[in-house]
Structure 1
Amino acid sequence: MARIPFSHARTLLLSGIGLVSLMAQANDDSLIQQRANAVVSLMSFTVVPDITASNLDIGSGTNEQAALTITQLGGGATMSEGFPIYLEGTLGYSRYDPQFVFTDGTETRTIPVKWNSLSATGGIGWDFGLHRDRWGGNLVLRPIANFTLGTVASDLRIGAAFISHKTGKNLDFLDGGTLNVYGLGGSLMLDYELFSKAQDIDAELRYSYQHLQSFTGTADSIAGQAEAENLGLYLRRRAPLFSWTLLDRPVRYVMEGARTEYLGAQRGLLGFNSLNSLGLGLELDSSKYKVFVTRTRLVARYMFSHNTNGYSIGLAMSF
């Protein structure tokens, strides 16, 4: 899991979603509308396959700072060379725990609000072959249509009665509110793959865009929307590690690098405009045996950007 110090992600917490002061008049729909848009924006980081942001944890050690967790699990593959339809799927989860500071001028109280989002994204594409080199490498252009369904839930738990008593109104969206979200968009990928006994090379350049929009919720007057847009580059090389074998197949080392450039509304939302990842790991080949999983990779990654750094451990499987 990548852990990013809170001080390096302050842009998100102060401007994107923010630690806010709820004054007596702050139960206005306009403020809650802003929060609804902001929490749907968190979902935008889970709907596009992205190694650099597949598991982020922005935390704090004090009660005045918020915590954010973003987790993503997914994969994709071309079904066959004869019928090169490409299918992908991604499950995403995010949790944000802001600290709302409520005051009526005489009394102040910090109230935790827990926002959770869960999303499922699918993609259907087609491989158009561009070039096959003499080493057996294949370059394809892959347009992909993407769609997302998700839900955002808010749980005030503590402090709802206090806010209702002080303001005389009930903040329905903060206390048990939900938003159901759909997303439509697409991606365009340039993919080069080379598979051989000596080495495997995979290089991907992908532009992705999705518009997220809520369509039902507990409060009819509250709707959320966000844009997910980024440009990603992914490089990976796998090759035998000395003469080591396991499961009657060579043990391979894995080297990878990735960079995601966030565009549009996502730019700067987490306190940086881009995120980089460098990975090193091992791969076991079980293809000789009649098992569902043919390859298993364990990769340690170092993630970094402007004033930001972290780490992650990733497990991947091929079928």
Structure 2
Amino acid sequence: MTAAFSSSLTLLFASLTLSPLSFAADGHRIKQRADAVLTLMSYMVFPDVTASDLNIGSGTGETNELTMTQFGGGATMSDAFPVYLEGALGYSRYDPQFVISNGAETRRIPTRWNSLTATGGIGWDFHLYRDSRGGNLVLRPIANVMLGTMASDIRIGAWAIKRRTNADYDFLNGGRLNAWGLGGSLMLDYELISKPQDIDIELRYSSMNLQTFANTSRAVDGHAEAQNLGIYLRRRAPISDWTLLQSPVRYVLEGAHTEYLGDQRGRLGFDSLSSVGLGLELDSSKYPVFITRTRLVARYMFGNNTSGYGVGLAMSF
């Protein structure tokens, strides 16, 4: 079985295009902001190096702060039974602000919206071509399903709640948004594993429709569409005369680019994200341990008015 799971810690600086303040007296604004949170969930439903961890904010007191983190990976069971399985867990925290008034005074309400998503996928590898070096090109259709939830936590106590009892304020004070999604991906994957070097090139288109369900507060029913097109490239090769764990230490070069489409395009201030990385890989396959390879990669990420850096950790089994 070939498997790889990865996580990363990345700091990105960007402009968040969701307006910083909404008037809670207008329930439609609350609905708009909740629709936006559903769109933010869509960034976490597919494994994606470029958006595996985002921290966005301009540093001013009126800024909506956004944090998104994702852990995920995929595995092809074997050449004889080429079923492909993947999974991803995502967490986001979005801190919008609303303004309410009781007629005599106006206050700004900070809130905390925490989201958790889980995505699974199953696919099949159709072998298209094998070259003389041992490289293998496969076409991989994948069916994906997602479940997610978002909880709202208001932080001003009874000042607002005693004066508002409608569904919009019920949502702000402990409301919940539950979502599910169905979609799929199509991946073209070239992989070469050899003694001189390993090369992996993936081209992937993904699409999923997300909508609310079950115990979602009626003030924030909604839907969103996740669509993106990405390419990922990685080269691993031994560093001359350097061995650890009875195996050569390898350097890792990688690059990735994701183009966001549909509802995701421009939502966080960028239409696409790119990433370049450099790191090291240790091979522990000669020992009786579950993990065969461990990679540590430093990445620089950039996009429209966006730049950042981070460190990623990946393991193969």
TM-score interval, normalised by the smaller of the two chains: over 0.9
Picking from 187, 209, 212, the partner of 1:211 is 209
Q: How many angstroms does 1:106 deviate by?
A: 4.6
> Is contact 1:63-1:99 (8 Å) kept?
no
User: How many Å separate the matches in 1 of 2:216 and 2:52?
Assistant: 29
Structure 1 position 161 matched with structure 2 position 167: no
* 1:264-312 deviation digits (Å, cap 9, x = unpaired): 1100001000000000000000000010000000000000012110001
> Is contact 2:15-2:57 (8 Å) kept?
no
Q: Which residue of 1 aligns with 2:258?
A: 260
* 1:65-92 deviation digits (Å, cap 9, x = unpaired): 1210000001101100011000000001
SS, match of residue 281 in structure 2: strand
Q: Aligned partner of 2:10: which letter?
A: A
Q: Aligned partner of 2:301: which letter?
A: M
Q: How many angstroms does 1:110 deviate by?
A: 1.7
Q: How many angstroms does 1:258 deviate by?
A: 0.1
> How does 1:39-188 map onto structure 2 within 5 Å?
39-103=37-101, 106-156=104-154, 158-167=155-164, 169=166, 171-188=169-186
Q: How many angstroms does 1:160 deviate by?
A: 4.8
Greater mean deviation of Cα atoms: 53-62 or 301-310? 53-62
User: How many Å separate the matches in 1 of 2:16 and 2:40?
Assistant: 15
User: How many Å separate the matches in 2 of 1:299 and 1:228?
Assistant: 27
Q: Which residue of 1 aligns with 2:316?
A: 318
Picking from 5, 9, 14, the partner of 2:15 is 9
SS, match of residue 34 in structure 2: helix
SS, match of residue 43 in structure 2: coil
* 1:220-244 deviation digits (Å, cap 9, x = unpaired): 3531211111001000000001210
SS, match of residue 263 in structure 2: helix
Greater mean deviation of Cα atoms: 213-222 or 190-199? 213-222
User: How many Å separate the matches in 2 of 1:275 and 1:218?
Assistant: 32
Distance 1:311 1:208, change over 3 A: same
The CA RMSD measured in Å over matched residues stands at 1.5
Aligned length: 308
User: How many Å separate the matches in 1 of 2:269 and 2:59?
Assistant: 18
Q: How many angstroms does 1:46 deviate by?
A: 0.4
Q: Which residue of 2 aligns with 1:299?
A: 297
Q: Which residue of 2 aligns with 1:288?
A: 286
Q: Aligned partner of 2:161: which letter?
A: S
Q: Which has the higher contact order (CA 8 A, sep 6+)?
A: 2
Q: What's the TM-score, normalizing by structure 1?
A: 0.92
* 1:103-132 deviation digits (Å, cap 9, x = unpaired): 456522121110111011000000001100
SS, match of residue 38 in structure 2: helix
Q: How many angstroms does 1:194 deviate by?
A: 0.0
Q: How many angstroms does 1:61 deviate by?
A: 3.0
| Structure 2 residue ranges without an equivalent (≥5) | 1-8
